[in-house]
Amino acid sequence: MSEVYSFKVKTSYRNHLVDITPQVKEIISKSGVKDGICVVFSSHTTGGITINENADPDVKHDILTELDKIVPLNDGYLHCEGNSAAHIKASLMGFSQTIIISDSKPVLGIWQDIYFAEFDGPRNRTVYVKIIEG
Ligand code: ZN
């Protein structure tokens, strides 16, 4: 039986893609699991988890800028908290990623990293990681 790991992420902007790959790699290493599956989960309604490019920072900028066009900050939303755009963008990203573990490492493309996708920051967030051996 394996435990559920977690770590904190501090986001700095309203919209912010924070690279969490080092924390996920460290948890996989700590678990001692060589082969299996890793689920990375955000327990928040306005912040998701995504995988995308780690090389050119303009890609992160373009993703966030385009999401702002698709889901404007104000668009006659009903939700009284005033952060419907953040809820919608987080749902578009999704709240978890499932990653293959091979040889004690996450299987990611050379240009891929794992990101916490903040849409209602800055905030302190928690990311959960469950590792299943197999
Ligand atoms: Zn809300």
Q: Which of 85, 14, 100 is nearest to 51 (CA)?
A: 100
Can you tell me the distance from the alpha carbon of 59 to that of 71, in angstroms, rounded to the nearest whole number? 18
- Residue 61 has a pLDDT of 97
Backbone dihedral angles phi then psi of residue 62, each to the nearest 5 degrees: -65, -40
Q: Tell me which residue range forms the domain holding 61.
A: 4-133
pLDDT tens profile 16-62: 999 999 999 999 999 999 999 999 999 999 999 999 999 999 999 99
- Residue 82 has a pLDDT of 96
Can you tell me the distance from the alpha carbon of 30 to that of 12, in angstroms, rounded to the nearest whole number? 28
pLDDT tens profile 72-117: 999 999 999 999 999 999 999 999 999 999 999 999 999 999 999 9
Domain count, the chain: 1
List the CATH number of the domain containing 110: 2.60.120.460
Question: What would the mean pLDDT of 64-73 be, rounded to a whole number?
Answer: 98
Angle value at C-alpha 29, between 25 and 30, nearest 5 degrees: 115
Is the confidence at residue 69, as pLDDT, over 70? yes
- Residue 68 has a pLDDT of 97
Question: What would the mean pLDDT of 117-133 be, rounded to a whole number?
Answer: 98
- pLDDT bucket at 2, cuts 50 / 70 / 90: low
Distance 88 CA to ligand 1 centre (A): 10
For tokens 């435990």, the residue is 3
For residue 57, say if its preceding peptide bond is cis, omega within 30 degrees of 0: no
Distance 43 CA to ligand 1 centre (A): 14
Are the beta carbons of 127 and 18 closer than 8 angstroms? no
Distance 86 CA to ligand 1 centre (A): 8
Distance 85 CA to ligand 1 centre (A): 9
- Residue 99 has a pLDDT of 98
Distance 91 CA to ligand 1 centre (A): 12
56: DSSP letter: -
